[in-house]
């Protein structure tokens, strides 16, 4: 009995550590960002220019960064969702067992490549390609970043969608085939709709990965903080801003606090995405 009590204590404290850490992260973010609210005031964040270091007037508008993140994320998802969902359908429903044995490990390898390495690939291969195709002076822009991020989201979306598709009961497919449906009709009218909640969750996780990605976008997005929704413009994302500027910012300055506010915004966005994907899963009873 005493042993039980001891084990219980041990498990409870280990489990609590993760909660504690999350709480501390929130606390720390809040503490560092908080003073900004009084001086110079939260309103400074709602501005159209991000010029944190200046001899005239320092400006901390996060709109350009939010725009940059949104543009890159949107483009990346436009590219990766169709590719990865179709890919997942192929692997789960069409591919021969031999093809599946080859495809799946390769996709998993893709997931395990460090983002810096991918960023390097983007810099050396993708950026020149985009530059030449569109005849630009530089290939470092939103499109290049999006292509790279799409590549990074692919394995996440494919793996989870494929799981969802593979877990659709065979009896549904049999019923459909026995009614004279073709394989293709069965896939698109029965299997995909039945797996849709899982596919949506996979897409949400993919978006989460894309928004949170730092190194690769920092290397290939061009990093100019302008408000633009044109894919061939150079943009700067929220994550890249934090990563690039945190190292040089004077401790406790307004600029420093503003970077923490970007962190909070980022946290809120991923938090909302997580909740949304969980709601989707719950609504369609994927827990069963």
Chain positions contacting another protein, by CB under 8 A? 169, 171-182, 185, 189-190, 193-194
Q: How many CB atoms lie within 10 A of CB 133?
A: 10
Q: How many CB atoms lie within 10 A of CB 249?
A: 17
Given the complex with another protein, which of 101 and 108 has the nearer CB atom? Answer: 101
Minimum CB–partner distance for residue 278 and another protein (Å) = 20
Question: Cβ distance 235 to 142 under 8 Å?
Answer: yes
Minimum CB–partner distance for residue 163 and another protein (Å) = 17
Given the complex with another protein, which of 141 and 176 has the nearer CB atom? Answer: 176
Given the complex with another protein, which of 78 and 179 has the nearer CB atom? Answer: 179
Question: Cβ distance 261 to 26 under 8 Å?
Answer: no
Minimum CB–partner distance for residue 97 and another protein (Å) = 8
Could you give the 3-state DSSP secondary structure of residue 36? helix
Given the complex with another protein, which of 56 and 171 has the nearer CB atom? Answer: 171
Q: What torsion, rounded to 10 degrees, do the Cα atoms 279, 203, 287, 285 define?
A: 60
Minimum CB–partner distance for residue 166 and another protein (Å) = 16
Q: How far apart are CA 118 and CA 110, in angstroms?
A: 10
Minimum CB–partner distance for residue 171 and another protein (Å) = 4
Minimum CB–partner distance for residue 284 and another protein (Å) = 9
Report helix angle 142-166 to 97-112, nearest 10. 130
Q: How far apart are CA 196 and CA 202, in angstroms?
A: 10
Report helix angle 142-166 to 63-89, nearest 10. 40
Given the complex with another protein, which of 108 and 183 has the nearer CB atom? Answer: 183
Given the complex with another protein, which of 16 and 182 has the nearer CB atom? Answer: 182
Q: Which helix (H) or strand (E) holds 70?
A: helix 63-89
């Amino acid at each position: 009995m005493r042993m039980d009590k001891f084990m219980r204590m041990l498990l409870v404290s280990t489990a609590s550590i993760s909660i504690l850490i999350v709480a501390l992260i929130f606390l720390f973010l809040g503490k560092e960002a908080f003073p900004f609210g009084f001086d110079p005031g939260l309103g400074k964040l709602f501005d159209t220019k991000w010029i944190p270091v200046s001899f005239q007037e320092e400006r901390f508008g996060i709109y350009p960064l939010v725009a940059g993140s949104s543009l890159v994320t949107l483009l990346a998802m436009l590219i990766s969702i169709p590719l990865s969902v179709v890919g997942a359908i192929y692997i789960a429903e069409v591919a021969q067992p031999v093809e599946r044995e080859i495809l799946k490990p390769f996709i998993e390898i893709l997931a395990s490549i460090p983002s810096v390495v991918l960023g390097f690939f983007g810099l050396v291969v993708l950026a020149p390609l985009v530059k030449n195709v569109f005849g630009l002076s530089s290939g470092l822009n939103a499109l290049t970043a999006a292509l790279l991020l799409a590549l990074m989201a692919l394995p996440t979306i494919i793996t989870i969608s494929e799981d969802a598709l593979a877990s659709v009961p065979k009896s549904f497919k049999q019923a459909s085939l026995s009614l004279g449906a073709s394989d293709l009709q069965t896939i698109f009218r029965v299997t995909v709709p039945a797996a849709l909640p899982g596919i949506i969750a996979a897409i949400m996780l993919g978006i989460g990965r894309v928004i949170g990605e730092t190194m690769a976008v920092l290397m290939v997005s061009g990093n100019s903080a302008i408000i633009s929704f044109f894919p061939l413009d150079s943009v700067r994302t929220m994550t890249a801003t934090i990563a690039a500027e945190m190292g040089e910012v004077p401790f406790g300055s307004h600029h420093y606090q503003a970077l923490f506010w970007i962190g909070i915004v980022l946290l809120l966005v991923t938090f909302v995405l997580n909740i949304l994907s969980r709601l989707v899963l719950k609504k369609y009873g994927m827990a069963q």
